[in-house]
Chain A
Amino acid sequence: MSGEMQAQNEVIEKFSGENTALLSVQDLHVWFELRRFGFGRAGYVRAVDGVSFEVGRGEAIAIVGESGCGKSSLMKTILGLYKPTNGKVIMDGQDLQSLDTKGLRWYHSHVGYVQQDPYGALAPFMAVKKILEEPLIVGGIKSGEEREQRIQKAMEEVKLFPVEDFLGKYPHMLSGGQQQRVVIARAMIMGPYFLVADEPVSMLDASVRVEILKLLRGLQEEHHLSVIYITHDLSTVSYFSERIFVMYAGELVEKAKVERLLYNPCHPYTLALLNGTSVPDAENAKTFKEIPPGEPPSLVKPPEGCRFHPRCSKMIAGTCDVKVSPEFEPEPGHLVKCWLFQ
């Protein structure tokens, strides 16, 4: 343990900045080059286009958006898997770009990642024990005894009891909920202070979904974790996070506290998302839902001005389709990128 602790302390010293926010994303752009026939530039996919936000220590935030809005690219950049085209990701006062290989390895072992599809995220040929041991080996924990202790502890934390029964099992022998617990145990095993959960419950059944959400919430509170929860389902957000960021076509269009966003949504896109989310009620079958026409724009050539304007019923001609809206603050702490709040 001592060797690992020492290495860890060295890097912690390197990381301990003065900022109160743990993670700060500043004007982040992630563009992917499109090539024609292998050479010749055909444009860029602007997956993330000017995103800024901060996450405090021990805070859980949710990023809500539809598929293709760039939320996965944003997350992967924060995890250090993609290089930003422009802008910065600053974790604990340290710019990710400036980390060397050793620093990055330490970073990766202290940022947990909970994948969407648990079965796809677990190697089918590895038993649970091996799956959980892998990050410990990569993380440089040499003592076999310590590895076993850590595995035991992680499995207990995600409530996979009795631990011995599960160690030898392969992913296909587990139910969806148990698989997701193994994924969470793997994310937690290096003792991260930051967790990214990418739609952690979308593949699970209703009754299991709640169990996993509560488990994540419990871990977050107990370990004082910062969590980014990525989802397209607004109805689970209020049970899990303090703030919501709504993402549309590569941009964050609204940032607010959960209650404010649910009861006082400002951006027309947020409103549409809230309207589109069903609550079980037999009356639903009798009415048609109001859905903005069309589909999200291509990220290669996003619309001029506000990216939502072609679908927006409140579009102000001459403004929304020409100029990009800055962030307005209709109430303290509630930011919205929409000209309606000028």
Chain B
Amino acid sequence: MADEKLLRVKDLILHFRTTHGAVQAVDGVSIELAYNRAVVILGESGCGKSSLAKAILRLLPRNVEKYSGEVILGGQDVMKLDEEDFRLNVRWVGMSMVPQAAMNALNPVLRVGEQVSEPAMIHLGMKKEEATHAALKMFQHVGVPGDFLSRYPFELSGGMRQRVVIAMALITSPSLIILDEPTSALDVLTQANIFNVLKRIKKELGTSFILITHDIATSSELADDVAVMYAGQIVETGDAGRFFTAPLHPYSQKLMASVPRLRGTKELEFIVGQPPSLVDLPVGCRFAERCGQRFEKCVQNPPVIQKDDRMVKCWLYQ
């Protein structure tokens, strides 16, 4: 039976081993993503959102302490596959990634055309000419002139390089692309341009996206759903429309109140204190220490509570 969801992540855990103890970067994360939708994972630096991307794609460093859970992509639990199987059949083919600082993700000594066509040759077994042709087609999708194929990365502007990396992630036509801070180093107009490109890809190719970012304002350019991450856990998920107008979790509320608005007159707020260390996490709610609405119950770990069709991990909604 075909799954109606493209991706189901259940209780995903990724802990790293360090000299100070286990860093609980991803600690029991569950998210779902339907076909041709985009979910934004919002969180501040150090909350584990990049580790979540790596855990889903199984791009792990050597110091992994614990890695478990389910990642069901198109009905298949890819966590059960062995490394070689995963590399051949899931990575690039099922889902691919646009890494953080994608501008620097390109190899400086290879022409961008070669780099973009490489995944097609390796994963789809295309011949070189065929792959170059596919790369040219992808360049048109992302709005890079065709003659840029024979250029080197340093000959392109930041925005163009970003588009090239997106073309590379697209060439094997995966159904899911994970974008890790795709526009954080770019100018306003370039950012808006890249989001136009992503929206067009979503519409024309039916691709789904996981967008990982700390930039709430620009994330709304692509978001269908929003998941908020704090200290290794997802604290709220829901549709973008209701999230941006009325977030549920106290952390999300504070986060939204800190977003500067172009013609805003409201006084901005900031969150006092710092997120807990991922090595030494508090028992109970991880946000309790900084939360203005905490009460006795917050010393216990809050359950995930369903409210309409949104989820929130907070005692307030019990």
Could you tell me which A residues sit within 8 Å of B by CB distance? 66-67, 175-176, 205-211, 213-214, 232-236, 238-239, 262-263, 272-282, 284-285, 288-289, 291-292, 295
Say yes or no: A282 contacts B217, CB within 8 Å.
no
- The residues in B between 258 and 299 inclusive whose CB is less than 8 angstroms from any CB of A are 258-264, 268-271, 274
B65 is an interface residue with CB less than 8 A from chain A: no
Residues of A within 8 A of B269 (CB): 210
Say yes or no: B199 contacts A285, CB within 8 Å.
yes
- How many residue-residue contacts, CB under 8 A, span A and B? 125
Closest to A178 in B: B274
Say yes or no: B263 contacts A262, CB within 8 Å.
yes
B114 to chain A, nearest CB (A): 24
- The residues in B between 160 and 206 inclusive whose CB is less than 8 angstroms from any CB of A are 187-193, 195-196, 199-200
Say yes or no: A282 contacts B241, CB within 8 Å.
yes
Residues of B within 8 A of A282 (CB): 220, 223, 239-241, 243-245
Residues of A within 8 A of B195 (CB): 289
Could you tell me which B residues sit within 8 Å of A by CB distance? 38, 44-45, 157-159, 187-193, 195-196, 199-200, 214-224, 239-241, 243-245, 254-256, 258-264, 268-271, 274
Residues of A within 8 A of B38 (CB): 285
Say yes or no: A280 contacts B256, CB within 8 Å.
yes
Say yes or no: B216 contacts A206, CB within 8 Å.
yes
Residues of B within 8 A of A295 (CB): 157, 159
**Interface residues of A: mostly helix, strand, loop or mixed?**
helix
Instruction: Give the complex CA separation of A207 and B264 in angstroms.
Output: 16
A105 to chain B, nearest CB (A): 35
Closest to B242 in A: A282
Q: Report if A273-B259 is in contact (Cβ < 8 Å); known contacts: A279-B217, A295-B157.
A: no
Say yes or no: A273 contacts B188, CB within 8 Å.
yes
Q: Report if A280-B216 is in contact (Cβ < 8 Å); known contacts: A66-B188, A289-B195.
A: yes
Q: Report if A235-B221 is in contact (Cβ < 8 Å); known contacts: A276-B191, A280-B244, A291-B189.
A: no
Instruction: Give the complex CA separation of A276 and B262 in angstroms.
Output: 11
Instruction: Give the complex CA separation of A233 and B245 in angstroms.
Output: 22
B81 to chain A, nearest CB (A): 33
